[in-house]
Amino acid sequence: MLEMLKKIWHNPRLRNKAVLGVVLFVLAILLIYSLLTREPPPPEGAIRVVICEDCGETYATRIKDIDDPGDKRNKCRVCGGKLALAWKCRECKFEFPENKIASDGKLDNTMKKYQAVVNANRCPNCGSLATAPMSKDELK
């Protein structure tokens, strides 16, 4: 064995092949190790409380873009209906879907835009402006 190593070491061509083989072997081991120990990327989106506009089911789920119709997470897990962010009235405790502000060009001045924003999330039950998006802690 020792004679064979001396023979390889003194022949530059064989020595270069042996060194290249060892280097490639170490690189392959490092590559395999990095691929096997790499953590998966974190899931996209945030955990938000949503409410189904059709059946009223309220639950927390991970949402990236709630207006994306191609995302299957934007469908109700019970009936398959459209989801909206869940809001809650602080006065009467009524839970309701977020109202979207119409962007059809009718809001031509600043006061109308302001009124639309203020009225968009007014409680549909009691008319209060004391509303806010629901948190996971508020789920029943």
pLDDT, tens digit, for every residue of 72-81?
888 888 998 8
Residue 102: its pLDDT value, please? 64
**Alpha-carbon gap, residue 130 to 89, rounded angstroms:** 6
Q: Is the pTM of this model over 0.85?
A: no
**Alpha-carbon gap, residue 130 to 46, rounded angstroms:** 24
Listed by start position, the domains of the chain span: 2-37, 46-138
Q: Maximum Cα–Cα distance for the chain, whole Å?
A: 95
Rg (CA), the chain: 31
Tokens in use for 88?
């809650």
pLDDT, tens digit, for every residue of 91-112?
999 999 988 776 666 666 778 7
pLDDT, tens digit, for every residue of 12-26?
888 888 889 999 999
